[in-house]
Amino acid sequence: MDNRELSWLKFNARVLEEAEDAGVPLFERLRFLSIFRSNMDEFFMIRVGGLGDQLHLKKERLDTKTFLSAAEQLTLISERVKELIPRFTESYSEVMRALAREDILIQVRPENKHCTPGKTALSASDEEFLRAQFEQEVLPFLTPSVIDKRHPNHFLRNLELYAAAFLKKAGSDKQEKGGNTMVGIVPVLSQGVFKRVFYLPSENEAVRFILVEDLILYYLDKVFNNYVITGKAIFKITRNADLDVNEAVFDEDMELDFREIMEEMLKKRIKLTPVRIDFTGENIPEDYQKIVSKLNLNLKDSFTFLLEAPLDFTFIGELEEKLKDRQELFYEKLSPRQAFLADPNEKILKQLDKGDILLCYPYESINTFIKLLEEAAADPLVVSIKITLYRVARDSKVINALITAAENGKDVLALVELRARFDEENNIGWSVRLEDAGVNVMYGLEDLKVHSKLLLITKKSGQGIKYYTQIGTGNYNERTSRLYTDFTLMTSAQDIGSDASLVFNALSVGTTVSNTSTLWVAPKGLKPRVVEMLDTEIIYGKEGYIGFKLNSLTDRDIIEKLVEASKKGVKIELLVRGICCLIAGVPGETENITVTSVVGRFLEHSRVYIFGRGGRQKIYISSADFMTRNTEKRVEVASPVRDPRTRELILEDFNALLHNNSKARVQNNAGVYEKSQPNESDKDTQTELYKLAYKRERERDFNRIKPKKISWFKRIIGKIKFENKHN
pLDDT bin (cut points 50, 70, 90) of residue 703 is: low
Residue 716 has pLDDT above 50, yes or no: no
What Cα–Cα distance (Å) separates residue 363 from each residue in 313, 372, 689?
27, 18, 7
- Least confident interval from 184-198, 307-321, 580-594, 610-624: 184-198
Residue 110 has pLDDT above 50, yes or no: yes
Q: Is the pLDDT assigned to residue 247 strictly greater than 60? A: no
Read out DSSP for 143-212? --EEESSSS------TT-EEEEEEEEETT----BTTTBPEEEEEESSGGG-S-SEEEEP-SSS-EEEEEH
Rounded Cα gap, residues 243 and 381, in angstroms: 45
pLDDT surpassing 80 at residue 522: yes
Residue type at position 698: R
Per-residue pLDDT band at 191 (split at 50, 70, 90): low
- Please give the Cα distance from 419 to 397 (Å, whole number): 22
Mean pLDDT, residues 19-30: 96
pLDDT of residue 579: 97
**Of 154 and 353, more confident:** 353
Q: DSSP 3-state assignment of 349?
A: helix
- CA 451 from centroid of its chain's CA atoms: 15
Lowest mean pLDDT among 168-177, 582-591, 662-671, 692-701: 168-177
How far is residue 13's CA from residue 83's CA, in Å, rounded to a whole number? 10
DSSP state of 553: B
Q: How confident is the model at residue 5 (pLDDT cuts 50, 70, 90)?
A: very high
Q: Please, how many CA atoms are within 13 Å of residue 359, restricted to the half-sphere of its CB? A: 32
SS3 532: helix
Give DSSP secondary structure letters for 596-648: EEE-SSSEE--EEEEE-SGGG-EEEEES--BSHHHHHSEEEEEEE--SHHHHH
Q: Which of the two residues, 16 and 661, has the higher pLDDT score?
A: 16
pLDDT in tens, 538-570: 999 999 999 999 999 999 999 999 999 999 999
Q: What are the pLDDT digits (tens) for 58-69?
A: 788 898 899 999
Q: Of the ranges 28-42, 90-104, 687-701, 708-722, which one carries the lowest mean pLDDT score?
A: 708-722
Q: What is the pLDDT of residue 625?
A: 97
**Residues of the chain above pLDDT 70, percent:** 86
More confident residue, 83 or 109: 83
Question: Measuring CA to CA, which residue among 308, 270, 277 is closest to residue 295?
Answer: 277
Question: Percentage of residues in the chain with pLDDT exceeding 90?
Answer: 64
pLDDT category of residue 259 using cuts at 50, 70 and 90: low
Q: What is the pLDDT of residue 443?
A: 84
Average pLDDT for residues 116-140, to the nearest whole number?
A: 81
Arithmetic mean of pLDDT over the chain: 87
Instruction: Say whether pLDDT at 52 is over 80.
Output: yes
pLDDT digit string, tens, across residues 400-418: 999 999 999 999 999 988 7
Q: What is the mean pLDDT of residues 306-314?
A: 93
Summarize pLDDT for 355-376 with one digit per residue, the tens: 999 999 999 999 999 999 999 9
Q: Report whether pLDDT(128) > 90.
A: yes
Residue 451 appears among annotated catalytic residues: yes
Reported as a pLDDT band with limits 50, 70 and 90, residue 256 is: low
Of the listed ranges 63-67, 198-202, 242-246, 336-340, the one predicted with least confidence? 242-246
Q: Phi, psi at residue 204, to the nearest 5°?
A: -115, -160
Helix axis angle for 685-726 and 644-658, nearest 10°, is 140
Q: Are the CB atoms for 73 and 48 separated by under 8 Å?
A: no
- Per annotation, catalytic residue among 154, 451, 605, 726: 451
Q: What is the mean pLDDT of residues 247-266?
A: 49
